[in-house]
Structure 1
């Protein structure tokens, strides 16, 4: 019987392993010595670095020894050939050689090239290396001379000037690697029709999951600057016409507008709800003899809608006012309001709009001298003539809304129009029936941008008797929680009034032609997203 093979290593194998171990030990020792020598050399260089005080990490909010005026890059040309100080974020850094590095530094919507060049007075090679190694998105304080360039710098917004750095301090260092590059958010969202394989595309979910970094993109700054413009123009127009801004509760004791699509919350010993709109409270302000009111605030809709134009929380721009003779006084004012906003955006925010449209090309928003105003029946007729199958009192589907918007654009040359006299059955209980056909239509209206609804409004019922009758026709109880106080207010006399509610995010989305409403909400909420 043969003996089993030995499992012990041979003498040659043992010798070979010993040599390998000895070799590895020597290699490690050599590496340790090189590292020690490098550290020693670096300490010596640092000790001999004449520019050591001109760079480094600095956690304070002010530059060492500096009490000078800090500049904004938007006005950098005013500092030509002068020493300036500013704080900015590093977009990118590249070392050209041991003696030269270039930084692209941003501040808001502006960016500028900063040159770090070795000299014998302010900038050492160690400083060049330090600057070139600063991670992207880090915040720095920079001292430097503003210089006009001989050639335009195409990679920055400030193209005729650069800053020759004399000092640079790292205020806040960004971690690496970044989960999202802000530069990726400067590109359009992925779509089935996007065939530009050379542009990396980042999904909307990735952007929203890293929203802080995403919002740093200049296009996003432009979107929210323009959104603030809508807010500002809205108030400017209405304040000039006697409106005051009110603030109504968002926590309510009972569903007030039919009871569906509301968020229910625990509230101490009972339940409460998030308001679907400020509608009833706006009218209660009218009851209280506030003749013209506006509100800007959150609106909550518990709708499981996953479309590109729906959110579960959005910002409502609401208006309510008394009128003298006819509810079209309200419609006239709302149309003038929107024209004022559109023209204000064109005149005051053209730079932001231009930057956004480089990423999302869309035809400029077309405005007429007079806003087209169609009776609902006329809109139905136009759709039928275009081949749509729709009944007289049917609500419009989203494709039908867009189709009608295209038809209005072709006929009237306008991206904005009003559809008046909606069917009575499609409107809430507080809507006044039409004076010409009270059985079928109502004194109500919607307003549209690029064929999509941005406003719903109406004349409200101001008669206690008619309101109670209408509530009961809809099998509701005027004494129910959430309605009782509202209804009772009409017992004491109330002026004829009407109003409307706009969606701020939709106005911005449709004006700019953006593909998704979530781009216009800083931290959007939808059925699947409640963070960040």
Structure 2
């Protein structure tokens, strides 16, 4: 064995210095770090090899996973025909392909998973079960698909022996053979199931409903995350019904000769004299957002359009933060000639609403029942055609006084008084829908025809659902001189020769037939029909004094 050599001398003849303790420690740490890195790399390689081996044994490896972005260069369309779950009863024992999203996934051990899948208002139970043709890897993948992810599923429709309580489709389930994630959902700011539950009672930020452990989510939270909130089946039902009201409105009036028009929403003058309008900068001028299509509707009648209707936005600059007010809503408006009495128009309006109510009960019963199962409300009581309670304003005042209300003959009704009168009408006439006629002239717009019976009253009317106003209408003044006189006498006065008004007044100088009409608030019809606690639930992205987003 060789003898140990003495340390070599340095250039100046001195022996070298021993390494410091810090240097030794550093070298040791570097060594340990390198060893750990090598060990981790070895483990990673071993795990990858294991996964590759498992994948090679995965009989379902081509039947599940995340799809490439549709439209990307990696995505290859299959051309498979897609099915609608509403047709599932005719597809028994057939293999179908359909798009859906995940309401929830319920693991049942390593070999079984149940998924609740939704398409539109329909939900179905899907079964992913390990077998000789479906791997446990696919079951595990299905168990971990995130809630609200969009899927493309292939499976066979099978009839079940016991009704499935957790889905709307109760007699069938899907036995899954392929399952691909088309769009993965990340963590949700609001659970969709919370949006299926009722709002807290008015004034409560949150409230725990008896028998349930989670608090009810407030309206502001829902509206702040509206795209998630709108995924709830109850919200889909609300907007299907809202669409249905528009369809029925046009169907009824179209069959009676009404022409659908589109009037401007940027006006040179306020349509009702300057109150409650949004002023906008229009290039170098001042303009206003239309608070109704009133002036344009009447000008159409003067233009020999005998009957017109419109569905369009209405803007009201009212600082009203109530459960039935919006600053932007949808108006269902109409205007028409009549022959001798404005009650001809009232009769048509009443029949229009009876038609809408009855068709909602039949064509949209499923959606109505779904919403009312959450917001419990009495069935809407309807009178027969020609028997809608038509109550003079003075009689309504009398009914309220006899019930203890303190008000004068020509006072406008407050919201609580309207609701009180609605209860009295329901008790006396058995109807949730009625008309109040001959309103005081002082509380109506300047273009309203004065009553021939009392100069303090007018040929005007409102219609109500469950004691709350849904329509305001009247006979309009069709004589230019009388209109100009009433405009000057209005409080506040309106200049008939002013900008935006002169053309309107002048159109009646060339011969215009007697006419009347009205404007419904679409959102109110939906709110009161369904018994919803807040009108914001009937507007996709509601606008009120506090909210202009999303």
- Name the TM tier (shorter chain): over 0.9
Residues in 2 aligned to 1:484 and 1:138: alpha-carbon distance in whole angstroms: 58
Q: How far 1:409 moved relative to its partner? A: 0.3
Question: Mind listing any 5+ residue stretches in structure 1 that lack a counterpart?
Answer: 1-18
Determine the structure 2 residue equivalent to 1:284. Answer: 299
Question: Mind listing any 5+ residue stretches in structure 2 that lack a counterpart?
Answer: 1-27
- Among 153, 166, 186, the alignment partner of 1:155 is 166
**1:465 partner SS:** helix
**2:475 partner SS:** strand
Residues in 2 aligned to 1:310 and 1:498: alpha-carbon distance in whole angstroms: 25
Tell me, yes or no, if structure 1 residue 531 matches structure 2 residue 541: no
Moved more, 326-335 or 150-159: 150-159
Q: How far 1:384 moved relative to its partner? A: 0.2
Residues in 1 aligned to 2:445 and 2:168: alpha-carbon distance in whole angstroms: 51
- Among 359, 370, 388, the alignment partner of 2:405 is 388
Determine the structure 1 residue equivalent to 2:139. Answer: 128
**2:235 partner SS:** helix
Residues in 2 aligned to 1:484 and 1:317: alpha-carbon distance in whole angstroms: 26
Determine the structure 2 residue equivalent to 1:59. Answer: 68
- Among 118, 138, 141, the alignment partner of 2:130 is 118
For 1:186-201, list aligned pairs within 5 A.
186-191=196-201, 195-196=209-210, 197-201=212-216
Cα 1:32–1:246, aligned 2, differ >3 Å: closer, same or farther? same
Determine the structure 2 residue equivalent to 1:181. Answer: 191
Residues in 2 aligned to 1:388 and 1:35: alpha-carbon distance in whole angstroms: 82
Q: How far 1:159 moved relative to its partner? A: 1.1
Moved more, 200-209 or 251-260: 251-260
Determine the structure 2 residue equivalent to 1:168. Answer: 179
Return the index of the structure with the highest Cα Rg.
2
Q: How far 1:160 moved relative to its partner? A: 1.0
**2:345 partner SS:** helix
The answer as to whether partners of 2:209 and 2:215 remain within 8 angstroms in 1 is no
Determine the structure 1 residue equivalent to 2:25. Answer: none
**2:173 partner SS:** strand
Determine the structure 1 residue equivalent to 2:503. Answer: 485
Tell me, yes or no, if structure 1 residue 436 matches structure 2 residue 415: no
**Number of equivalenced pairs:** 515
**1:53 partner SS:** coil
- Among 268, 273, 276, the alignment partner of 1:261 is 276
- Among 473, 480, 484, the alignment partner of 1:468 is 484
Determine the structure 1 residue equivalent to 2:436. Answer: 419
Residues in 2 aligned to 1:194 and 1:391: alpha-carbon distance in whole angstroms: 44
Determine the structure 1 residue equivalent to 2:57. Answer: 48
Moved more, 388-397 or 143-152: 143-152
The answer as to whether partners of 2:446 and 2:486 remain within 8 angstroms in 1 is yes
Cα 1:199–1:366, aligned 2, differ >3 Å: closer, same or farther? farther
- Among 498, 501, 512, the alignment partner of 2:530 is 512
> 1:139-179 CA deviation, whole Å, 9 max, x = no partner?
1111111111122111011111111111111110011x210
Determine the structure 2 residue equivalent to 1:15. Answer: none
State the TM-score, normalized to the length of structure 1: 0.92
Determine the structure 1 residue equivalent to 2:21. Answer: none
State the TM-score, normalized to the length of structure 2: 0.89
- Among 440, 448, 455, the alignment partner of 2:464 is 448
The answer as to whether partners of 1:84 and 1:144 remain within 8 angstroms in 2 is yes
**1:359 partner SS:** coil
Residues in 1 aligned to 2:403 and 2:31: alpha-carbon distance in whole angstroms: 88
The answer as to whether partners of 1:59 and 1:172 remain within 8 angstroms in 2 is no
Cα 1:137–1:386, aligned 2, differ >3 Å: closer, same or farther? same
Cα 1:24–1:179, aligned 2, differ >3 Å: closer, same or farther? farther
Superposed CA RMSD in Å reads: 2.3
The answer as to whether partners of 1:59 and 1:170 remain within 8 angstroms in 2 is no
Residues in 2 aligned to 1:337 and 1:187: alpha-carbon distance in whole angstroms: 33
